[in-house]
Amino acid sequence: MRAILTGALSVLLAAGAAEAGDVAIIVHRDNSQGGVTLAELSRLFRLDQQRWGTGEKVEVVLQVGGSAKEAVMLERVFRMRGADLKPFWLGKIYRGELTAAPRVLASDAGVKHYVAANPRALGYVDSVMLDSSVKVLRVDGKLPGEPGYPLARTAP
Amino acid sequence: MPRSAGILFLAATLAASAARAQEPDTPGDAAPRLTLRGFSDVSFAAREEDGPATFALGQFDTFMTSALSDDVSVLAEIVFEFGEDNAAVLDVERAQIRWAPADVFTLTAGRMHTPLGYWNQTFHHGSWLQTTAERPLMYRFEDDGGILPVHMVGVQAAGAWNARRATLKYSAAVVNGRGHIPDEIANVRDASDAKAVSLWLGVAPAGTGLEVGLSAYLDTLPAFADHGDVRERIFGAYVVFAHDGLELLGELSRVRHRADGDTFDAWGGYAQAGLKRGRWTPYYRFDRVEVAAGDPFLEAGELSVHTLGLRFELLSWAALKGEYHREQPAGADGVHSARVQAAFTF
C-alpha cells in the first residue's frame, strides 16, 4: 500500500511541476512570424486583429480556464476577468466580427497537438511542455524563462 | 408575416441548426455550419398613469451566423416582438453577407445596424448584452418613436487598422434613405433615387479600454404633403471607457432637417456609468431627447429620463436587472416607473 501511495504522490508532484513554467506562445513551425509585441499579442488573441502578416487568418485556440496560466493570459493578454470572456466573444459574434468563438481545448498537450497540425493556429501552453513540434514566439523580444519575459508566471 | 409562418420558420431554423451541429466544422466541401443563438427577456413593469402593472415579453431574437469560406460569412437576425395589442410580429432585423479579405477592409451588403455611434452596433437587440434593461432614448427603434435610422439597407465598407498605439476603425456606407415616416425602412424599395450616406470613425488607444468616435448620416427625405424634399444631416459623437468592470458610456447626436428654408434640430444623448463587482453591477443613466416644434419628420417634444438600476448575473448567460426611472417631459409632472427584467441568451 505504501508503494502505491508513494507512487501516486510522485505522479501528483510531477503533474504539479509540469505546470510551473512561464506561459509560452506557440504557432505552427511553418509560421514565418518570429515574435510579437505584447500589444500585438493582445490584439491577436482578442481577434481584434484576425490576420497574420502574410494575410492568412489567425486561428486562436484557448484552454479551459482556472489555472495560473489562464490567469496570466487574462490579466496581461486579454486584459479582462474570466467571467467577462464569454460575453466578450458573444459580443464579437453579435457585431458580426466573428462567426464563432475560438476553439477551447482541455490541456497543454491538446493545444500543442492542434497548433502543430494547423499552420494558422495561435495558442499558449506552459513552457515546460515545449518541444520541437511547435514554434515559440518571442514576446517583446523575449522567450519564456528570459528575464523580463512579459508572460512570466510571476509578474515581470 | 403571419404568426404561423413565423413559428414554422423558427422550427425549420432550429431543426437545421440541430442537424448541422453534427457536421464537421472545417471548411471545404461540407455544407456551411450554422451557428444559432437567441436573446430574449421577460419583464415585470409598472408605470404611473399608464395602466396596470404587467408582465411583458421582450423581443425574442434569433441570431444566426455562418462562414461560407475563410473570407465570406452571412449573418441574420430575426426578431419576434409583441405589440401593444399583444400580437406577435416577425421582423428581419439584419440579413447580410460579408466579404472580409483583410482586417482593414470588409464589404457588407444587406440590412445592417447603422453605425451611428457605439450602442447601436454593440448591443442593439441583444438585451442581455447591455448592462441596462432598457435602451437609451436616442436609440429607440424606428417603430417606437426613435429619432435615428438605427437600421439601414445597402452596402458598407468597413475595417480596422491596428497601429502600434491605437486601433483606427471606420465605416462608409451607401444605403437606401429613410421613408416618408421614421418607421418606414426601405428594405426592397427606396422612396427616392437619392441614396443616403453613412460615415463612422472610431479610435481606440491600445490597452486603455477607451474608444472615441464620430459619425455622420446624410440623406434627403422624400417630399411630404406640406414640404418639398427635406435635407437630413445627422452628426454624432461618442466616448466609451470599459475596463476592469467600470463602464462609462456617453453619446450625443444631432438630427438637423432643412425644409423650405427652415431648419429644425433634434438632439439625443445619454451618459451611463456602471461598475461591475463580482456578480453585481449598479448603474445610472441620464437620457435626453428633444425635437424642435414643427419638425417635418419627427414628433416634437422633450423628454429627460433618470435611470437607476442594479444588475445581477444569475448565471453565465442570464442576468436579473432592476430599474427605477423618473421621466420628465417638458412642461409636465415627472412620471415614476420601474422594471424588473430577466434577460438571457441561449
pLDDT digits (tens, 9 = 90+) for B171-210: 999 999 998 888 888 888 888 888 999 999 999 998 889 9
* Residues B291/B147, Cβ–Cβ less than 8 Å: yes
Which residues in chain A have their CB less than 8 angstroms from residue B162's CB?
40, 43, 48-49
| B166 contact partners, CB below 8 Å, separation of at least 6 | B203, B204, B205, B206
Per-residue confidence (pLDDT) for residue B222, from 0 to 100:
83
Q: Do A96 and B313 lie within an 8 Å CB cutoff? A: no
Residue B104 clears pLDDT 50, i.e. is over it: yes
Residue B116 phi/psi, 5-degree rounding, is: -100, -10
Which residues in chain B have their CB less than 8 angstroms from residue A51's CB?
102-103
- Largest Cα separation within chain A, whole Å, is 59
Question: pTM score, two decimals?
Answer: 0.86
Q: Do A43 and B345 lie within an 8 Å CB cutoff? A: no
A2: contact with B, CB 8 A cutoff: no
Per-residue confidence (pLDDT) for residue B28, from 0 to 100:
54
* Residues B191/B177, Cβ–Cβ less than 8 Å: yes
**How many DSSP H helices and E strands does chain B contain?**
2, 17
- Which segments of chain A does DSSP mark as H helices, in order? 2-18, 38-45, 68-72, 85-94, 108-117
Q: Do B67 and A90 lie within an 8 Å CB cutoff? A: no
| A138 contact partners, CB below 8 Å, separation of at least 6 | A34, A35, A36
Q: What band does B78 get if pLDDT is binned at 50, 70 and 90?
A: very high
Candidates B33, B126, B162; nearest CB to A49:
B162
Residue B50 clears pLDDT 80, i.e. is over it: no
Percent of the residues in chain A that have a pLDDT greater than 90, as a whole number: 71
Instruction: Report which of residues B126 and A55 the model is more confident about.
Output: A55
Question: What residue type is B334 in one-letter code?
Answer: G
* H/E stretch holding A11: helix A2-18
Residue A13 clears pLDDT 50, i.e. is over it: no
Per-residue confidence (pLDDT) for residue B181, from 0 to 100:
85
Angle, alpha carbons B242-B243-B246 (nearest 5°)? 75
If one counts every other C-beta atom within 10 angstroms of the C-beta of residue B31, the result is 12
Residue B136 clears pLDDT 90, i.e. is over it: yes
Q: CA torsion sign, A18 to A24 to A27 to A29? A: negative
Length reported for chain A: 156
Beta bridge pairs of residue B34: B66
Rounded distance between C-alpha atoms, residue B204 and residue B201, angstroms? 10
Q: Do B103 and A49 lie within an 8 Å CB cutoff? A: yes
Which residues in chain A have their CB less than 8 angstroms from residue B25's CB?
100
Q: Taking CB atoms and an 8 Å cut-off, how many pairs form between chains A and B?
A: 66
Nearest CA distance, A75 vs chain B (angstrom): 10
Per-residue confidence (pLDDT) for residue B318, from 0 to 100:
96
Percent of the residues in chain B that have a pLDDT greater than 90, as a whole number: 69
| Segment A47-57 mean pLDDT | 92
Q: Do B164 and A37 lie within an 8 Å CB cutoff? A: yes
Residue B58 clears pLDDT 70, i.e. is over it: yes
**Hey, which residues 87-116 in chain A have their CB within 8 Å of chain B?**
87, 90-91, 93-96, 98-100
> Per the structure block, which three cell numbers stand in for A105?
481545448
Q: Do B65 and A100 lie within an 8 Å CB cutoff? A: yes
Cα dihedral A12/A13/A19/A21 (nearest 10): -170
Per-residue confidence (pLDDT) for residue A155, from 0 to 100:
65
